[in-house]
Amino acid sequence: MHSILYHIALGIYHLIIFTLYPFYPKAKQYILGRKNWKEKLNGINFKDCDWIWVHFSSFGEYQDGKFSVNKLKEEFPATKFLYTFHSPSGYEALKNKNEADYLCYIPFDYKYNAEYFIKTINPKCIIFCRNDIWYNYIKFAKKKEIPVIHLSTLIGINSGFLKFPQIWHYKKAFCLFDLLLTQNISTKNILENIFNAKNAVLIGNTRIDSIFDRFEKNTQYPKIKKFIGSEFCIVGGSLLKKDIENLTYAYHKLKTKRIKWIIIPHEINNLSFIMSNLSKDKILLYSEIDQMKNSHEILIVDCVGILMDLYQYANLTYMGGGFNKIGIHNILEPCMHGNKIIIGPNHRNYPEAIDLINLNICEVIKDKKELYQKIDMRYEGRDESLKDSKKAKHYVSSKRGASAESIIEIKTLLLKKNVLKHTPISE
């Protein structure tokens, strides 16, 4: 019964995507990216060495797990790595980079797809990162005695994992994992007490190590620095439609102030909504930054992959997602750069969000008027920024080390199962 209902739900989900195909660019990428996946897969030699398959839902989940996975590559240098993504955001960001030995979209989670995919690549280990849990892949891997690991597991009290009827499905799925590496003790307790999972281990948030690593590289953008000059700078990160409306309102209310605005939309496919509500002579696209003029006040970043670095230029960050059902995006990145952060009300009870609110590093607003007021107050009280900056950086720095813990646990499991031919470099 579970299998029948699961496949019906999958069918409905994919029917919706196919219906959106002509109208929604992301749906089009979602479908075309999986076209001829079998032929492409068969063109790769998966028999010349051992492979580890790592799956990320989107670019955000890749950011969560990449530091741990890169360390795993160092431990098993003769092993090749296959990355898959569910969402176009991750695939599009990595398709022209050499992060993986093979990169593709994960085929739809029907039983015959899962079996064909796993039989073809024959991975020695499978790692699912953060959000995506595809039951048929996990079930068939278990049948083939392939270790399956869930990295950076996080389940909040309001998580969809705990809602009916999903909870029934996830009770079956979580029990199949050989190892569940959790971000906090609450998640570990939920896995053990509600999902009856026996292999949960507390390691912490692996994304923090990735953020710190990126921070230490100190990548600079001289042209953006020139755009800002000596002005007060606001960075709007991963903005959705409602967030853009809020920030646009604040911009118009604060037009007389000497402020530079950097807007990074969550999706860069449709910038017309942003530009239609602002004066075109004030807007500069990042792709056209060489055409910078003194009159430009708003920089719209129309590329992916640089947001984390841009927080270094912010006096204040407005993080998107808090007025949407999906909730806020990652606030640890601006925190590492010492930013004061403003978010909407839906912070999904993320542990880091709660901590940063209590530390007065992060403030919650209820509407666009309050956003304008918070920005205005911060603009007038810039002398407080140094104190907040030190407190924010210390918070992130104090929580490093989860990636090292994850590698110890993964390496122990793989050696115990004796599934890899090659000896880790550190052994």
Start-to-end C-alpha separation, the chain: 46
Both 109 and 241 in a single domain? no
Report the C-alpha gap between 54 and 125 in whole angstroms: 8
Strand 102-105: give its sheet, edge to edge.
102-105, 80-85, 51-56, 125-129, 148-153, 179-182, 200-202
* Structural domain includes residue 71: yes
pLDDT of residue 427: 45
Both 167 and 253 in a single domain? no
| Residue 176 contacts residue 144 (beta carbons within 8 Å) | no
For residues 351-362, average pLDDT: 91
> In this predicted structure, which of 22-26, 247-251, 402-406 has the lowest mean pLDDT?
22-26
Identify which has the larger pLDDT, 26 or 73.
73
Query: Could you please report the per-residue DSSP string of 85-143?
Result: ESSHHHHHHHTTS-SSSEEEEPPP--HHHHHHHHHHH--SEEEEETT---HHHHHHHHH
pLDDT tens, 145-190?
A: 999 999 999 998 878 888 888 898 999 999 999 999 999 999 999 9
Domain that holds residue 148: 2-204+401-417
Both 180 and 66 in a single domain? yes
Domain count, the chain: 2
Both 102 and 23 in a single domain? yes
For residues 223-233, average pLDDT: 97
* Structural domain includes residue 424: no
Using alpha carbons, select from 90, 103, 77 the residue that is nearest to residue 131: 90
Question: What CATH number is given to the structural domain containing 23?
Answer: 3.40.50.11720
Own/partner pairs for 379-387, CB < 8 Å, 24+ apart? Answer: 379/232, 379/254, 379/257, 379/259, 379/315, 382/232, 382/315, 385/315, 385/338, 385/340
* Structural domain includes residue 423: no
Both 413 and 269 in a single domain? no
pLDDT of residue 131: 82
Please say whether the dihedral angle defined by the alpha carbons of residues 92, 96, 101 and 102, taken in this order, is positive or negative.
Answer: positive
Both 82 and 223 in a single domain? no
pLDDT tens, 86-142?
A: 999 899 989 999 999 999 999 999 999 999 999 999 999 999 998 889 999 999 999
Label residue 79 exposed, middle or buried (CB < 10 Å: 0-12, 13-18, 19+).
Answer: buried
* Structural domain includes residue 422: no
Both 411 and 350 in a single domain? no
* Structural domain includes residue 62: yes
* Structural domain includes residue 386: yes
* Structural domain includes residue 385: yes
pLDDT of residue 425: 47
List 265's β-bridge partners, or say none.
Answer: 239
Report the C-alpha gap between 88 and 28 in whole angstroms: 10
Q: Please name the amino acid found at residue 69.
A: V
Both 251 and 153 in a single domain? no
Report the C-alpha gap between 146 and 118 in whole angstroms: 10
Q: Please name the amino acid found at residue 126.
A: I
pLDDT tens, 278-320?
A: 888 999 999 999 999 999 999 999 988 899 999 999 999 999 9
Both 280 and 325 in a single domain? yes
pLDDT tens, 363-402?
A: 999 999 999 999 999 998 765 555 578 888 999 999 999 9
Both 163 and 288 in a single domain? no
264: which residues sit within 8 A by CB, 6+ positions away?
235, 236, 237, 238, 239, 301, 307, 310
Own/partner pairs for 270-279, CB < 8 Å, 24+ apart? Answer: 270/25, 271/300, 271/302, 273/241, 273/244, 274/244, 274/248, 274/300, 275/300, 277/244, 277/245, 277/248, 278/248, 278/251
Both 237 and 143 in a single domain? no
Label residue 16 exposed, middle or buried (CB < 10 Å: 0-12, 13-18, 19+).
Answer: exposed
pLDDT tens, 31-69?
A: 999 999 999 999 999 998 999 999 999 988 998 999 999
* Alpha-helical segments (H) within 147-269: 166-174, 185-193, 207-217, 222-228, 241-253
- Structure tokens that stand for 390 in this block: 């030190």
As a whole number, the mean pLDDT across the chain is 92
Q: Find the helix packing angle between 25-32 and 2-20, rounded to 10°.
A: 120
| Residue 102 contacts residue 45 (beta carbons within 8 Å) | no
Report the C-alpha gap between 174 and 180 in whole angstroms: 8
pLDDT of residue 165: 85
> How many CB atoms sit inside 10 A of residue 64's CB?
26
* Structural domain includes residue 380: yes
Question: What CATH number is given to the structural domain containing 237?
Answer: 3.40.50.2000
pLDDT of residue 421: 57
For residues 341-346, average pLDDT: 96
Both 328 and 359 in a single domain? yes
pLDDT of residue 385: 58
Q: What percent of the chain has pLDDT over 70?
A: 97
> How many CB atoms sit inside 10 A of residue 115's CB?
16
